Amino acid sequence: QVDALSPGLLGRSKFEYADNYCERGLVPSFQNNGIGKAKGLGNGKGGKDGNGGWQKHVAAMSKSVSGGRRLEELNHLLTRTIMIRRRKEDVLSELPLKRRQVLYITPEKEKRG
């Protein structure tokens, strides 16, 4: 959405944005055993016994993009270019009056088939 307002403001791509403003790291990527559970996320024995433990099933490492860095720079960049903050007290006269409406709902009987 930012790119639609100001192309390239946060980087040429989402990857450049992530490089500049996100904490990056590697996390283990587990194989799937076909029944919806990741292998090796625990076997009751700490997962290190070689019989289905996590070490045996780590397929690869995946990049993790979470958290943030250079947040003051990012905040300054956004607030000085595209971010708008309007306080309620400043725009209250422009807002419509509150509407309250009570809705009565009759629940349907449960259908059993």
pLDDT tens readout for residues 74-104? 999 999 999 888 899 999 999 999 999 999 9
Question: Burial level of 40, CB count in 10 A (0-12/13-18/19+)?
Answer: buried
The pLDDT value given to residue 44: 46
> What is the rounded CA–CA span in Å between residue 84 and residue 91?
13
Q: How many residues appear in the chain? A: 113
Q: Is the pLDDT of residue 28 over 50?
A: yes
The pLDDT value given to residue 73: 95
| 29: amino acid identity, one letter | S
pTM above threshold 0.85: no
Mean pLDDT of 39-64: 54
Q: Is the pLDDT of residue 52 over 80?
A: no
Contacts of 16 (CB under 8 A, 6+ apart): 10
